[in-house]
Amino acid sequence: MLSVSDNEKITRVGRGTPMGELMRRYWQPVLLSREVAEPDGDPIRVRILGEDLVAFRDTSGRVGMISEWCPHRLTSMFLGRNEEDGLRCVYHGWKFDVTGACVDMPNEPEEFDFKHKVNMVAYPTLDMGGVIWVYMGPADQQPPPPKFEFTQQPETHRGVSKVIEECNWLQAMEGGLDSVHSSFLHRKLAAGDGLGFDGLRADATAGRLDVETEDYGYRYAAHRPIPGREDNYVRSYHFVMPHVQIRAAQLNNDGSWLKFKIAGHHWVPIDDHTTLVWNWLYSLDEPLTKDEQEERGFGNGPNDVDQQTFRAAGNKRNDWRIDRAKQRTASFTGIDGVNAQDRAVQESMGAVVNRSQEHLGQTDKAIITMRKMLMNAIAVVQDGGVPPGASDSYYHLRGIEEVLPQDAAGLEVLADKMFARTS
């Protein structure tokens, strides 16, 4: 558990808060590239880390990320005209480029040169891997580009989606890092519908959990004994600071890969009470199908998430569309879609869960390790240092699942595949 004060420290993300200042030392994914695809197209509202911004792609194709509020009279720049390499406020015509510089001030006498004295808050952006990224921290601490392996794949081999989750970012992420819950939350009751190798994630409730810290975060392996065999089903992943999980490639029932597919998530704080969950999947061999790219069947597809607002159809106002009849006969939860199941339990805790009331066990070591790393990283930033995960050491990470002998040291055996330095 955490103390009340530490829980506040680790969950609040506004500018000037300890966690907020840590978050601002990393590139944050904020928009799908398609949302601002058109030069001189419509501006887009963005709320991230408690700040209200507006994104636009200018005439030259550059993406700007500026404060929503015009520095003149604080009118919303979302109403602005995107024209001739800048966004113009509709109130008095002040115009700003992607750097935040005022490039035109038609209602002020030129002799006062006032436009050169006014700047808009603006943040650096990158358009990479179908995603618009923003950096909101100190200019002299800007990290290398966020070249996660999925961003380097061709469009045919990757799928990226997002959904708004109505709770604090930390409890959303903790759900993803908790490997043990899949034995219950994602269990299917019908024969032959189990998850993972022969449904072992659903069948096993106990096993060995290994966590090894790295300079970017940690890597993790869950070992589950296979009934009737002297082997373990071993599933590994990486946690990359401050809010990224790289999940394992998927096995067939014979132990071969379906495709060499790897998935992952970013849990990006919109504010203290809302999270933008990014989901990505990529293949290293065959192109993904349309259904794979759209994550149909996992609770993130077009039937589950509004593709304009990115709000989930199943939410706390309709009890996450739980089907009690299905819960008795088909699935452990009665909620369709793995990610929809995750959202339900995480949102059900409330906007910000009180961790001082928890009772953590041995199987929560991944959660405990992550919290310690975040608290330590906060201290590093407060002391003027560079936090873990702000370098390029995560560029070639992959999650892996395999069948190994029960006495095998999973993290050691899988190391070469988990650190796949192939490019």
What is the CATH classification number for the domain harbouring 173?
A: 3.90.380.10
Q: Do 74 and 125 share a domain, yes or no?
A: yes
Q: Which residues contact 372 (CB under 8 A, 6 or more apart)?
A: none
| % of the chain at pLDDT higher than 90 | 71
pLDDT given at position 190: 67
Lowest mean pLDDT among 90-94, 222-226, 248-252: 248-252
Q: Do 89 and 223 share a domain, yes or no?
A: no
Q: What's this model's pTM, rounded to 2 decimal places?
A: 0.93
Residue 193 in this model has a pLDDT that exceeds 60: no
pLDDT given at position 86: 98
Nearest to 162 by CA among 11, 50, 306, 365: 306
Q: Do 309 and 359 share a domain, yes or no?
A: yes
Residue 301 in this model has a pLDDT that exceeds 90: no
CB count within 10 Å of CB 92 equals 14
Q: Do 290 and 208 share a domain, yes or no?
A: yes
Question: Is residue 3 included in any domain, yes or no?
Answer: no
Q: Which two three-digit tokens encode residue 238?
A: 């990486």
Tell which of 108, 134, 160 closes a domain: 134
Lowest mean pLDDT among 11-15, 252-256, 314-318: 252-256
- CB-CB contact of 373 with 128 (8 Å): no
Residue 31 in this model has a pLDDT that exceeds 90: yes
Range of the domain at 411: 149-418
- CB-CB contact of 410 with 236 (8 Å): yes
The backbone torsions φ and ψ at residue 281, rounded to the nearest 5 degrees and listed phi first, read -140, 135
Residue 188 in this model has a pLDDT that exceeds 90: no
Q: What single-letter amino acid sits at 349? A: M
SS3 12: coil
Q: Which residues contact 74 (CB under 8 A, 6 or more apart)?
A: none
Q: Which two three-digit tokens encode residue 394?
A: 């995560």
pLDDT given at position 277: 97
Question: Is residue 19 included in any domain, yes or no?
Answer: no
Tell which of 106, 134, 162 closes a domain: 134
Residue 254 in this model has a pLDDT that exceeds 90: no
- CB-CB contact of 260 with 157 (8 Å): no
Q: Do 122 and 159 share a domain, yes or no?
A: no
Question: Is residue 11 included in any domain, yes or no?
Answer: no
Mean pLDDT of all residues belonging to the chain: 91
Residue 422 in this model has a pLDDT that exceeds 80: no
pLDDT given at position 255: 52
Q: Do 246 and 361 share a domain, yes or no?
A: yes
pLDDT given at position 197: 39
The backbone torsions φ and ψ at residue 208, rounded to the nearest 5 degrees and listed phi first, read -95, 135
Question: Is residue 208 included in any domain, yes or no?
Answer: yes
- Number of structural domains found in the chain: 2
14, burial (CB in 10 Å: exposed 0-12, middle 13-18, buried 19+): middle
Q: Which long-range contacts (CB under 8 A, 24 or more apart) does 111-118 make?
A: 118/71, 118/72, 118/94
pLDDT in tens, 42-85: 999 999 999 999 999 999 999 999 999 999 999 999 999 999 99
CATH code of the domain covering residue 118: 2.102.10.10
Angle at which helices 4-11 and 365-382 cross, to 10°: 70
Q: Do 245 and 358 share a domain, yes or no?
A: yes
pLDDT given at position 115: 86
DSSP string, 76-96: BGGG-EE-SSSEE-TTT--EE
Q: Do 175 and 107 share a domain, yes or no?
A: no
Q: Do 160 and 304 share a domain, yes or no?
A: yes
Question: Is residue 367 included in any domain, yes or no?
Answer: yes
CB count within 10 Å of CB 289 equals 12
Angle at which helices 365-382 and 169-177 cross, to 10°: 130
Q: What single-letter amino acid sits at 12? A: R
Q: Do 51 and 171 share a domain, yes or no?
A: no
pLDDT given at position 194: 44
Question: Is residue 221 included in any domain, yes or no?
Answer: yes
Question: Is residue 18 included in any domain, yes or no?
Answer: no
Task: Compute the C-alpha angle 166/168/172, nearest 5°.
Answer: 80
Most confident of the ranges 28-42, 252-266, 319-333: 28-42
Question: Is residue 160 included in any domain, yes or no?
Answer: yes
- CB-CB contact of 162 with 32 (8 Å): yes
pLDDT given at position 256: 54
Tell which of 81, 110, 134 closes a domain: 134
- CB-CB contact of 206 with 219 (8 Å): no
Q: Do 107 and 34 share a domain, yes or no?
A: yes
Nearest to 148 by CA among 337, 397, 419: 397
Q: Which two three-digit tokens encode residue 208?
A: 């060995």
DSSP string, 378-403: HHHHHTT-PPTTSSSTTTTB-B-EEE
DSSP H helix total and E strand total for the chain: 10, 18
Nearest to 168 by CA among 320, 341, 361, 19: 19
Looking at per-residue confidence, does 126 or 401 come out higher? 126
Q: Do 125 and 237 share a domain, yes or no?
A: no
Q: d(Cα 185, Cα 242) in Å, to the nearest integer?
A: 25
